[in-house]
Chain A
Amino acid sequence: MNWDPRTVVVTGAGAVSPCGVGRCALWEGAAQGRSGIDWIESFDVSGWPVRIAGEVRGCTAEQWLTRPVGLRRDRSLQFGLVAAHEALQQAGLLDADDRVPSRFSVGMIAGSGLGPCFEAEYAYGCFFNRGREAVRPMTVPKSMHNALSSQLSIYFGLRGASQTVAAACASGALAIAQAWTLIRSGLQEIVLCGGADSPLTPGMFAAWTNMKVLAHHEEPARACRPFDRRRRGLVLAEGAGMVVLESWESAQRRGVPVLARLSACGYSSDAHDLTAPTPEGPQRAMKHCLQIAGKSPGEVDYINAHGTATPANDVAEATAIANVFGHRESGLPISSTKSVLGHALGASGALEFILCAEALQHQFVPPTRNCDEPDPETGLDFVPNVGRPHSLRCVLTNSFAFGGSNCCLLLERV
Chain B
Amino acid sequence: MATPSDRTEIIAELREVFDRVTDGRLDVSRIGEDAHVINDLGLSSLELLELRFELESVWNVVPDDDQVRRLQTVRDVIELIAARAA
Contact = CB atoms under 8 A, between A and B. Distances in A.
Interface residues of A, number: 12
Interface in B46-61: 46-47, 49-50, 53, 57
A70 B50 contact: no
Nearest to A119: B23
Nearest to B49: A137
Contacts of B53: 136-137
B37 to A, nearest CB: 15
A138 B25 contact: no
A141 B50 CA distance: 13
A390 interface: no
B4 interface: no
A72 interface: yes
A138 B26 CA distance: 16
Nearest to A69: B25
B4 to A, nearest CB: 31
Contacts of A137: 46, 49-50, 53
A73 interface: yes
Contacts of A71: 23-25
B23 A68 contact: no
B46 A70 contact: no
Contacts of B26: 68, 70
Nearest to A68: B25
Interface residue tally of chain B, by bracket? 10 to 19
B20 to A, nearest CB: 9
A263 B49 CA distance: 48
B50 A136 contact: yes
Interface in A55-98: 62, 68-73
Contacts of A136: 50, 53
B13 interface: no
Contacts of B23: 70-73, 138
A12 to B, nearest CB: 26
Interface in A113-151: 134, 136-138, 141
Interface string B43-86: 00011011001000100000000000000000000000000000
B27 interface: yes
A137 B55 CA distance: 13
Nearest to A142: B23
A134 B25 CA distance: 22
A71 B25 CA distance: 7
B24 A68 contact: yes
A62 B24 CA distance: 10
A67 to B, nearest CB: 9
A36 to B, nearest CB: 26
Contacts of A138: 23, 46-47, 49-50
Contacts of B47: 138
Interface in A153-193: none
A138 to B, nearest CB: 5
A141 B49 CA distance: 13
Contacts of B50: 136-138
Contacts of A69: 25
B13 to A, nearest CB: 18
B57 to A, nearest CB: 8
A134 B49 CA distance: 13
A72 B25 CA distance: 9
A56 B9 CA distance: 37
A151 to B, nearest CB: 11
Contact of A72 (B24, B27, B49, B57): B24
> Which 10 pairs across A and B sit closest by C-beta, in order of nearness?
A70-B25, A70-B24, A137-B49, A70-B23, A72-B24, A137-B50, A68-B25, A138-B46, A71-B23, A137-B46
Given A62-B24, A68-B26, A138-B50, 12 more contacts: A69-B25, A70-B23, A70-B24, A70-B26, A72-B23, A73-B23, A137-B46, A137-B49, A137-B53, A138-B23, A138-B46, A138-B49
14 contacts: A62-B24, A68-B26, A68-B27, A69-B25, A70-B22, A70-B23, A70-B24, A70-B26, A72-B24, A73-B23, A137-B46, A138-B49, A138-B50, A141-B46
Interface of B: 22-27, 46-47, 49-50, 53, 57
